[in-house]
Structure 1
């Protein structure tokens, strides 16, 4: 990949990973615009690493509390807020890991990953679902009120994100808003849930690229990881500030509009994707 394409991949992944607009849906456009093959697994791992570092840095207070609680959880004690947060995060991550493994083993993941029609419909349908959840549910709960039951429910919502174009952050925010969490705390829980999920998916991808000796690969990885981290930090900061006064409607409008564009491209025969 050229340096320009690497930069585009890093910025697109970084900006869209945590916004409820789907990074996969945006990255599918890149090969169509540049004519280059889709980014490989190594670049995917680099982009995930960058966004993982970003969310850990941005929510470091919560991450530190969960890490301190994890040591108590290992000893069988759930007697602190940190231990409870760590337990809920673990429980919320189990469904998507199991579902992801099933899709990978059965090959279903490859069947749906490159379908622009699937991505376009997911953009539109789950954008509307987010709008309804955000507009019809009150803001009556905060992140410290997260319960085990709600962790399970949000974990099941996260499974839906395995459909390309859904948006992991978007669907978990939808689940949180359905349960009555405030807009900012719905985003906060969603971002914290992303940490073990990105770790799991990134580790799985990394297994497929171990031993890759492509010339210049590590330079490309460093570029993508660094830029995606910076872009993700900027996107997180902007979104969390805006949510104090703005609903999720602007993201919904954007999702539906882009989904419609992708659907038109797919239906008119312009949606064949270059091989990775």
Structure 2
């Protein structure tokens, strides 16, 4: 049974990680709805490594170019103004808020923040924030216009995703759109910005895979991670094509409906908060 659950949870992770609808919320709500209980923060963090490996593979040319240019700029001053060199710094500095807060709030993240009351509320509130930012934000900035200030602000927004239901990509996209960046630019930066935080969190939680914090153990966890990689890779390609021409409105509506349904089910006792 654990392997069947792992397949389902891997599919959920792969389908929802890159959409602004919060994969961690889905991994908390649906197992509870199926009667499986909370898979735990350790399981959730580890299987997210699969989707981030999909990002590494999909964007490997961009990542290689950014990494090598940034490294060379450390001893070649003429490269420090290059976009790829600046992107390297933006990703590093933009990742600091979620890393620092993740360490400081680890116990709260793994317990209190996983309440379905909180998750249902954040799904609705942050969904509305995304809708407002997407509707009224300007679309006049591309990747070349990305500044250190904006990179830090989007990094701070990403840190809100420590609360399940916020959505790492959703928070970053909301800030990006509010700052005037076009959807595809905000989406690409959100993907790149998430790499250090997600992989770092997954590696940090590996020690808890065989423990009480993870009810599944190594076998199902590895299977779920592999499935999330395959499905996540396909989701990246689809989302980048989608945002090139369409708004985030369907995701906003879905978040509000799911959040309201979650709060209703908890209030009526169908789900345990």
TM-score w.r.t. the length of structure 2 is 0.91
For 1:220 and 1:70, the matched residues in 2 are separated by: 38
Aligned match of 1:233: 233
Deviations 1:81-133 (CA, angstroms, capped at 9, x unpaired): 322111000010001111111111xx322343321110001000000000000
| Greater mean deviation of Cα atoms: 121-130 or 238-247 | 238-247
Deviating beyond 4 angstroms after TM superposition, the runs of 4 or more aligned structure 1 residues are: 73-77
For 1:169 and 1:51, the matched residues in 2 are separated by: 13
| Greater mean deviation of Cα atoms: 216-225 or 240-249 | 216-225
- Cα shift at 1:79: 4.3
* 1:43/1:224 contact within 8 Å kept: no
For 1:90 and 1:208, the matched residues in 2 are separated by: 26
Aligned match of 2:179: 179
Aligned match of 1:257: 257
- Cα shift at 1:211: 8.6
For 1:4 and 1:220, the matched residues in 2 are separated by: 8
Structure-2 change in CA distance of 1:243 and 1:148 (3 Å): same
Q: List runs of 5+ in structure 1 lacking aligned partners.
A: none
For 1:152 and 1:53, the matched residues in 2 are separated by: 24
Local SS of the residue matching 1:5: helix
- Cα shift at 1:258: 0.6
Superposed, 1:258-273 pairs within 5 Å as 258-272=258-272
For 1:217 and 1:74, the matched residues in 2 are separated by: 42
For 2:86 and 2:192, the matched residues in 1 are separated by: 13
* 1:43/1:221 contact within 8 Å kept: yes
Superposed, 1:187-226 pairs within 5 Å as 187-209=187-209, 217-226=217-226
* 1:173/1:190 contact within 8 Å kept: yes
Local SS of the residue matching 1:235: helix
* 1:157/1:175 contact within 8 Å kept: yes
Aligned match of 1:24: 24
What's the RMSD between the two structures over aligned residues? 2.2
For 2:235 and 2:133, the matched residues in 1 are separated by: 22
For 1:204 and 1:151, the matched residues in 2 are separated by: 25
Local SS of the residue matching 2:39: coil
Superposed, 1:106-185 pairs within 5 Å as 107-185=107-185
Local SS of the residue matching 1:95: helix
* 1:116/1:266 contact within 8 Å kept: yes
- Cα shift at 1:14: 1.0
- Cα shift at 1:255: 0.5
Indicate which of 64, 85, 88 corresponds to 2:87.
Answer: 85
